[in-house]
Amino acid sequence: MSETETRDFIRQIIHDDLESGKHSEIVTRFPPEPNGYLHVGHVMSICLNFGVAAETGGRTFLRLDDTNPGKESREYVDAIKRDVHWLGFDWEDRLTHASDYFGQLYESACRLIEMGCAYVDSLSADEIREHRGTLTEPGRNSPYRDRSVEENLDLFKRMRAGEFSDGELVLRARIDMSSPNMNMRDPALYRIRHIPHQNAGDEWCIYPMYDFAHGLSDAYEHITHSLCTLEFEDHRPLYDWFLDQLKPAHRPRQIEFSRLNLAYAVTSKRKLNTLVDEGIVTGWDDPRMPTIAGMRRRGYPVAALREFVTRAGVTKKDKLIEMGVLENCIRETLGEQAERRMAVLRPLKIVLTNYPENKVEMMEAMNHPGRPELGTRELPFSRELWIEQDDFMEDAPRKFFRLKPGGEVRLRFGYIIRCDEVVRNTAGDVVELRCSYDPDTRSGTGSSDRKVKGTIHWVSCEHAIDAQVRLYDRLFNEANPNAVDDVHSVLNPESLEIVDGKLEPALAELAAGQAVQFERLGYFCTDEKEDSAAVRVINRIVTLRDSWAKLEKQAMQNQNQVV
Ligand code: ATP
Ligand code: MG
């Protein structure tokens, strides 16, 4: 594939700007507001901003867009930094805050006033809304719109000095109250808020609005391409208007792309916050959350996330991407990397009646079927073993090739066994199977080359490690929960199931952050927060197969019909 074929429209623009000499170096920024944890949508923005700069030898700023004190906190700042680093990107010495520029922004606002391009309004918030008009009706000028430059400057300085209360005055741009673009109808530039700021302390009681701060911060940092999501498209005329009036030495260019939305997940910090606040999940890093912290704790590999956003692509079309696409990226990455182990999640005991009582054999188990260089390990085999409950069926159909009364199955890396007797408790539940093994069928070395159709996994009872295994599923039953107001109505009540599993002894050594495949079950890792020497706590990262694929496809099709 040639380079041009893989270039998205933003990379094409950047390529052209370098080739034409418009820019000699590309400078981008990733500008999250520290009002929540980053989510899978942000992964796309991070990979794009840091990616295009790295690919062209440019630079990227991590800028905390902290113009809205009250909703922002240090905890979020720290989480954002950790998440960006974890994804493998480095801002080096370019960690900035919109609040670093409060002084310059204030000066710029004063200049707009001096140029007659901004005024202090005394209308209340409600009155301003009333004057704004609608999409079909022009707005009306505020009676305070024609205050003199001197009066405006005086009032603005006194706003800053703390002489007025919240909402009493607001600084607005003087643009056009009849503009068809509502954003151009004299938008607010500064408002009064008597609350301290997580970065700037209590130096300020007036704070700039996002639109005003953003473009100018881009200019101060010499950002060449300010990449943002499509909801800012209608703000671009305003972005350009500030630059046209103030003519900073460097002029950045805003380019919009579509948001990445993941089916069956919410990608809005506000909605994620609701899940945390209401205790629907255990925190921002709950392994079911589509936050970067949650996905890390769940065990999603960085390479898979980066591959996922590459597959999603940078476009201007709305996207709701199937969870299966992300899960397939994870399966592909882990299928290659993860060593195989044996574990039983819903144990049923079998006793091999013809196997000596105190005998233990060490079976040789391959660590990775496709990568012999990863070697083998020893797997203890004994008279009593755990197998999976659903690998046994009493009234089995003809095609059931696992264990059934009188039937035979191979134990992986072990022997062929036959089920001779089913033991029940007084309630009639199956509690144990009495089986016999064929000593000539030992895997690899047995004298018999007898074959049976099914192979199942197992763990020796005596050697098993107990573990709490957490099986995660989608948080929502609805393909696009972003569009639903009440998230409660679409929660999946089965998003977490906890089982008492039995692990092969080698899993005692499973390191934090190391993913393994439990044969026939899926990919798993220890829980970075709750796993301990006393209790092994294991997260299921993803199943081996996508049991949702069909359902999801159907739901997405229905959705497309509605849109
Ligand atoms: P949220 O609605 O979740 O709060 P946001 O846009 O308000 O998202 P910011 O912290 O302002 O969150 O986002 C930082 C950057 O990440 C912005 O440039 C924004 O455009 C981008 N971004 C946010 N969500 C997505 C998404 N779903 N897909 C791609 N980029 C996104
Ligand atoms: Mg935002």
Average pLDDT over residues 376-394: 97
pLDDT at 563 over 60: no
Query: 262 in a domain, yes or no?
Result: no
Average pLDDT of the segment spanning 347-359? 98
Averaged over 167-179, what is the pLDDT? 98
Assess whether the C-beta atom of 42 lies below 6 angstroms from ligand 1: yes
In a shared domain, residues 329 and 369: no
Residue 309 has pLDDT above 80, yes or no: yes
Q: Do 240 and 159 share a structural domain?
A: yes
Q: What are phi and psi of 208, to 5 degrees?
A: -75, 155
Q: Which atom of ligand 1 is nearest to the CA of 268?
A: 3
Distance from Cα 32 to the centre of ligand 1, integer Å: 7
- Give residue 429's pLDDT band: very low, low, confident or very high (50, 70, 90): very high
How many Å lie between the centroid of ligand 2 and the Cα of residue 32? 7
Q: Give 201's DSSP letter.
A: B
Mean pLDDT of 396-419: 95
Q: Is the pLDDT of residue 562 over 50?
A: no
Give, using CA atoms, the residue closest to atom 15 of ligand 1: 32
Q: Do 442 and 534 share a domain, yes or no?
A: no
- Where among 426, 451, 476 does a domain terminate? 451
- Give, using CA atoms, the residue closest to atom 23 of ligand 1: 42
Pairing of strands 170-173, 118-121: antiparallel
> Mean pLDDT, to the nearest integer, of 175-192?
98
- CATH code of 504's domain: 2.40.240.10
- For residue 315 and ligand 1, the question of a CB distance below 6 A is answered with no
Q: Are 199 and 97 in contact (CB under 8 A)?
A: yes
Last residue of a domain, one of 226, 257, 288: 257
Residue 152: phi and psi, rounded to 5, are: -60, -45
Domain end marker among 236, 257, 278 = 257
CA separation for the pair 524, 514 (Å, rounded) = 9
Q: Whose CA is nearest to atom 18 of ligand 1?
A: 228
Q: Examine the domain organization and report whether 201 and 77 are in the same domain.
A: yes
Using CA atoms, how far apart are residues 128 and 121, in angstroms rounded to an integer?
A: 9
Question: Can you read off the two tokens belonging to residue 189?
Answer: 């530039």
pLDDT digits over 443-502, tens only? 988 898 899 999 999 999 999 999 999 999 999 999 999 989 898 999 999 999 999 999
Atom of ligand 1 nearest to the CA of 272: 3
Shared-domain flag, residues 188 and 87: yes
Say whether both 21 and 85 belong to one domain: yes
Q: Is 45 in the pocket of ligand 1 (CB under 6 A)?
A: yes
Predicted local confidence at residue 490, as pLDDT: 95
Considering the domain architecture, whether residues 367 and 441 belong to the same structural domain is answered as yes
Mark whether 298 and 172 lie in a shared domain.
no
- Alpha carbon of 33 to ligand 2 centroid (Å): 6
Give the N- to C-terminal CA distance of the chain in Å, as an integer: 35
Strands 430-437 and 347-352: parallel
In this prediction, residue 551 carries a pLDDT of: 58
Mean pLDDT of 361-389: 97
- Tell me what the mean pLDDT of segment 362-387 comes to: 96
Structure-block tokens of residue 174:
């003087």
Cα-to-centroid distance, 231 and ligand 1 (Å) = 10
pLDDT tops 50 at residue 437: yes
**Owning domain of residue 61:** 9-257
Atom of ligand 1 nearest to the CA of 269: 3
> Closest ligand 1 atom, CA of 229?
20
Structurally, how many domains does the chain consist of? 3
Q: Specify whether 290 is located in the same domain as 316.
A: yes
Q: Is residue 122 located within the same domain as residue 162?
A: yes
| pLDDT, tens digit (0-9, with 9 covering 90-100), for 14-41 | 999 999 999 999 999 999 999 999 999 9
Assigned domain for 371 exists: yes
The 170-173 sheet, strands edge to edge? 118-121, 170-173, 188-192, 206-208
> What is the model's pTM?
0.94
- Ligand number with the minimum distance to the CA of 30: 1
- pLDDT, tens digit (0-9, with 9 covering 90-100), for 79-116: 999 999 999 999 999 999 999 999 999 999 999 999 99
Tokens at 80, concatenated: 């954002």
The per-residue pLDDT for 319 is 84
pLDDT for 549: 59
Looking at residue 449, its pLDDT comes to: 85
Active site residue 450: no
Print the SS3 string covering 30-58: ECCCCCCCCEHHHHHHHHHHHHHHHHCCC
- Is residue 259 part of the annotated active site? The answer reads yes
Q: Give a yes or no: residue 3 inside a domain.
A: no
Indicate if 519 and 551 belong to the same structural domain: yes
CATH, residue 242: 3.40.50.620
At residue 1, the pLDDT reads 44
Compute the distance between CA of residue 403 and CA of residue 386 in angstroms, rounded to an integer: 13
Tokens of 251: 């002029």
Confidence band for 545, pLDDT divided at 50, 70 and 90: confident
* Non-local CB neighbours of 24 within 8 Å, separated by 6+ positions: 18
Classify residue 456: in a domain, yes or no: no
Query: Could you say which ligand is closest to the alpha carbon of residue 265?
Result: 1
Burial zone of 185 (CB within 10 Å; 0-12 exposed, 13-18 middle, 19+ buried): buried
Per the domain annotation, does 280 fall within a domain?
yes
Q: Ligand 1 pocket, 297 CB below 6 A? A: no
Query: Does some domain include residue 263?
Result: no
Is the pLDDT at 400 greater than 80, yes or no? yes
In a domain, 264, yes or no: no
**How far does the centroid of ligand 2 lie from the alpha carbon of residue 229, in Å?**
9
Question: In this structure, is residue 238 part of a structural domain?
Answer: yes
Q: Which amino acid is at 99?
A: S
| pLDDT at 559 (0 to 100) | 53
Mention every residue, 6+ apart, whose C-beta is less than 8 A from residue 271: 481, 482, 487
- Mean pLDDT value across residues 214-240: 98
Looking at all shown ligands, the one closest to residue 268's CA atom is 1
Q: Is the CB of 56 under 6 A from ligand 1?
A: no
Task: Decide whether any atom of ligand 1 lies within 6 Å of the 51 Cβ.
Answer: no
Same domain for 349 and 444 = yes
Q: Is the CB of 109 under 6 A from ligand 1?
A: no
- The string of DSSP codes covering 53-116 is HHHTT-EEEEEE----TTS--HHHHHHHHHHHHHTT---TT-EEEGGGGHHHHHHHHHHHHHTT
What is the tally of helices (H) and strands (E) in the chain?
14, 27
The catalytically annotated residue of 7, 33, 81, 140 is 33
Average pLDDT of the residues of the chain: 95
Collect all residues with Cβ–Cβ distance below 8 Å to 556 and sequence separation of at least 6.
263, 320, 322, 479
Share of residues in the chain with pLDDT > 70 (%)? 96
Q: Could you confirm whether 33 is annotated as catalytic?
A: yes
